[in-house]
């Protein structure tokens, strides 16, 4: 199966349809906001400390420190998501009557994390810089889902993310 999904709305939609067995109106890749924030803070602190220690030993430089810190952040994000029983990247699929959040691993849709009634799910969306923050409050009283996507035309995945945003906020 193809592993690149950036900007390929049709691919994401088909991947969701394979798991759900129903027509999907739109699908996009979003990050778990909790995993993003916790991983960013913890991984950044760890990477920064390691960079400082390497500098004390006379090893590395700014580039080594930056790469190490980025790797620590990514590792922290993935570990946080795994501890929450999910993946860092999530596929959000919108059908005629459902909003479904699924694991996204190596270019494939996986386990359903949350399945919400589209008609009763309250959607809060706001943009901050290049990021889109999306909170889904299911009408059944279940836990909310906090997601981070992109609406910047400079990022390939922003096209599918904007489709999901439109479906959830404009009711198309």
Secondary structure class of 125 (helix, strand, coil): strand
**Residues 91 and 101 sit within 8 Å (Cβ to Cβ):** yes
**Sequence-ordered alpha helix ranges (H) in 57-138:** 62-83
**Sequence-ordered alpha helix ranges (H) in 57-106:** 62-83
pLDDT at 142: 87
Q: How far is Cα 22 from Cα 91, in angstroms, rounded to an integer?
A: 15
84-108: burial string, b at 16+ Cβ within 10 Å, e else: eebbbbbbbbbbeebbbbbbbeeeb
Instruction: Please tell me whether the overall predicted TM-score, pTM, comes out greater than 0.75 for this model.
Output: no
Q: If the chain, 172 residues long, is cut into consecutive pieces of 10 residues, what is the mean pLDDT of each piece? A: 68 95 94 51 48 53 52 52 59 96 86 92 86 87 83 76 89 52
Q: How far is Cα 75 from Cα 93, in angstroms, rounded to an integer?
A: 26
């Amino acid at each position: 199966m193809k592993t690149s999904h950036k900007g390929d709305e049709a691919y994401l939609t088909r991947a969701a349809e394979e798991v759900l067995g129903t027509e999907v109106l739109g699908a996009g890749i979003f990050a778990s906001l909790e995993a993003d924030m916790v991983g960013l803070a913890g991984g950044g602190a760890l990477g920064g400390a390691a960079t400082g220690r390497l500098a004390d030993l006379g090893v590395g430089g700014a580039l080594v420190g930056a790469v190490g810190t980025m790797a620590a952040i990514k590792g922290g994000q993935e570990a946080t998501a795994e501890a929450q029983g999910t993946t860092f990247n999530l596929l959000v699929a919108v059908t005629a009557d459902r909003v479904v959040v699924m694991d996204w691993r190596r270019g494939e849709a996986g386990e359903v994390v949350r399945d919400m009634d589209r008609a009763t799910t309250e959607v809060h969306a706001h943009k901050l810089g290049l990021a889109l923050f999306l909170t889904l409050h299911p009408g059944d009283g279940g836990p909310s889902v906090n997601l981070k996507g992109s609406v910047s035309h400079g990022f390939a995945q922003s096209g599918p993310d904007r489709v999901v945003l439109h479906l959830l906020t404009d009711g198309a």
